[in-house]
Structure 1
Amino acid sequence: MSNTTVRAAAEGMPAINRRRLLMGLAAASTAAAAVTVAPAAHSAAVNENSELIRLGNELPAAEAEMLAAKAAKRAVFAEWSPRWPLAPDEIIEHGCEIERTLTGAGLYRDGLKDCLRVGTANDFRWWKASIERQLASKRIKSEARRTQLRKDIKKTQRKISIAERYAAETARIREASGYEQVSERHSAATKALTSLIVAIMAQPETSMQGVMIKAQALATWKKADRVYRVLNADGFDWGSQLAASVIRMASEVAS
């Protein structure tokens, strides 16, 4: 729901209704503030969905793990990215693969809007075999042409060696950095947090305490990387759902 829509709805609401809703919201919030978000000791005293409270109790630990995993991933990237080699000039623009960073994302060099293409050892092996077939063909009669093909074979063999060394060095750095492990940890922690928040938002709330649990869940969700939030279709309506719950709770108290 856009801010414009919210303002329009508020402006179209009679002043007396707005005042009642605000008073109801204040009363409901005061009641919810008497206990913590999901207190085991007070759960019986609050008429709230017990499953929602249980899920809310799991939120701090899930958030802490996601943030710790995210920080570890960033630390590894910051430490090891400066050691990541650029592809040698000899193998650039000779293949279908793009130049990549430690993370596996495309590498954009300064001043360039596109990633460079990098030839792999297999690319050059294929090209070398193609040249060798040409050289073996009896259709090529020119000795000058055959001499050039022999030079091309040697040149391509050098590129194979360069591509192999480059691939070995990037693999060594990726292994030594432990980036794959911290990336997997971050992914698992974010997926676990996502599943927890999906479960929280799917539960019905019966009091302002439940609304507060959901509000905290959405505040935590904002801390996840944007790519995870965009890919989670369930989250598109969470904001409007929470707003509707707040208005409903305030209306019930005010009535």
Structure 2
Amino acid sequence: MPNHAVTAAGEAMPVGNTLSRLAELLRAGDSRGALALIESSTAMPPVSRSTETTTAATNRRNFLLAKGGLLAASAASLVVDTPKAAFAASEAPRAAEDISGQVETINENPDLLKAYDTLLAAQAEESAAKEAFEWLGDEWKHAWPLAPDELLGSANAHQSGRQYIKYAERDILGRFMMRDTSGLAMKVSPEFREKYPRTCFHVYASEEAKERIAYLSQRTPKGRTEKSLARDRAWIEGEIVAWKQRLELALKYEAETTRLSEAAGVVPAAQRVCDADAAVKEASAKISMIPAFTHLGLQIKARAVQASGLFDGDPNTAGRWGEFCRFIHAVIDMGGEVRV
């Protein structure tokens, strides 16, 4: 390795002093100055013609070969001298690969970097789980049956209250099924079909049919005359017959949809999505508890908060929520992609 390096002023500087100066620049966060010193150090020190032959080994090529070791030694000294970066100096060669980006990684809390790797792995699993779940919907949608028209109840069931929305017609993944109303002339009025070209219907379940049959069976016919009593009694009996037919259809429909769901593995696929989502939230929460040493660590923390979905909204939102969103986005955008 050469014994001297050349400064920007053209003066020879001992390698020991170069290392010290480079360590100071790195410690101060002056990456540009460090790069300038490195580039200037590749120049040959002034030598006399009489010594050219004896100093041929210290040419530019040999010094360039030694530059990686210079960077590694400088970064190692920086690691040793920095209290927060109390981890092995064996990480130092990473700085030689990209002095402008990787030095910050070396100075960052290793526990935070490890936690971020865990978050990235959890996010990858969540994405894969959701993709597999959506694939099930596409793969089985042609086998999934529509509910019989006799089981269709009120329209716009996807907008119903909590008590009845569970009876809305859904596909194999549990998403609302929107039917074309143009072919349901016997079910909805022309005005409704014009206003709602597509809608989701309430589907009578077997439990509803059983409850309705039980209620009608206990109902006492009412009427002031024998004729009115007979009419009410006939209506009750007719309703019981209709609901028994719906019960039979509902049991068959539910049995078929249950069979298809089990064959497709919907429940395990949905559980995988839930587990992956929980893992992302757990990794995000862990990152929030680990101190950051550099602005790279702050970016990691911002991305972890964004991964939770709490502040991944519209930055233009008014109020405190918008302020939080803008802050998270600003921290994330301050340094581009996080490289670990």
Following the alignment from structure 2 to structure 1, what is the Cα–Cα distance between the partners of residues 250 and 333? 60
- 2:117 matched residue in structure 1: 57
User: Does the aligned pair in 1 maintain the 2:108–2:296 contact within 8 Å?
Assistant: yes
How much does 1:90 deviate? 0.7
Would you say 1:42 and 2:91 are equivalent positions? yes
Shift in CA distance, 57/86, structure 1 to aligned 2, threshold 3 Å: same
- 1:120 matched residue in structure 2: 205
Deviates more, 1:59-68 or 1:91-100: 91-100
Letter in 1 for 2:209: F
Decide which structure has the larger Cα Rg and report it: 2
Letter in 1 for 2:175: A
Letter in 2 for 1:42: E
May I ask how many residue pairs the two structures share in their alignment? Answer: 210
Following the alignment from structure 2 to structure 1, what is the Cα–Cα distance between the partners of residues 211 and 32? 75
How much does 1:68 deviate? 1.9
Q: TM-score, normalised by structure 2?
A: 0.50
Q: TM-score, normalised by structure 1?
A: 0.63
- 1:18 matched residue in structure 2: none
Would you say 1:173 and 2:260 are equivalent positions? yes
How far does the alpha carbon of each residue in 1:213-246 deviate from its partner, in whole angstroms, 9 at most, with x for none? 4476578x3xxxxxx625999x983761573598
User: Does the aligned pair in 2 maintain the 1:135–1:150 contact within 8 Å?
Assistant: no
Following the alignment from structure 2 to structure 1, what is the Cα–Cα distance between the partners of residues 109 and 294? 8
User: Does the aligned pair in 1 maintain the 2:222–2:232 contact within 8 Å?
Assistant: no
Following the alignment from structure 1 to structure 2, what is the Cα–Cα distance between the partners of residues 245 and 146? 72
- 1:100 matched residue in structure 2: 170
Would you say 1:191 and 2:278 are equivalent positions? yes
Shift in CA distance, 152/25, structure 1 to aligned 2, threshold 3 Å: farther
Q: Helix, strand or coil: the match of 1:194? A: helix
Would you say 1:129 and 2:214 are equivalent positions? yes
Q: Helix, strand or coil: the match of 1:82? A: coil
Following the alignment from structure 2 to structure 1, what is the Cα–Cα distance between the partners of residues 327 and 240? 65
Would you say 1:75 and 2:135 are equivalent positions? yes
Flag structure 1 segments of 5+ consecutive residues without an equivalent.
1-23, 222-227, 250-255
How much does 1:148 deviate? 4.5
Aligned-residue sequence identity (percent) comes to 27
Q: Which has the higher contact order (CA 8 A, sep 6+)?
A: 1
Q: Helix, strand or coil: the match of 2:142? A: helix
- 1:182 matched residue in structure 2: 269
How far does the alpha carbon of each residue in 1:176-203 deviate from its partner, in whole angstroms, 9 at most, with x for none? 1111111110121122112212332453
Flag structure 2 segments of 5+ consecutive residues without an equivalent.
1-28, 36-70, 76-86, 95-102, 158-163, 182-195, 314-320, 336-340
Letter in 1 for 2:170: R
Choose between structure 1 and 2: higher helix proportion: 1
Letter in 2 for 1:107: M
Letter in 1 for 2:152: I
Deviates more, 1:120-129 or 1:206-215: 206-215
How far does the alpha carbon of each residue in 1:133-190 deviate from its partner, in whole angstroms, 9 at most, with x for none? 3467898844455445433332221111011111111111111111111111012112
CA RMSD of aligned residues (A): 4.2
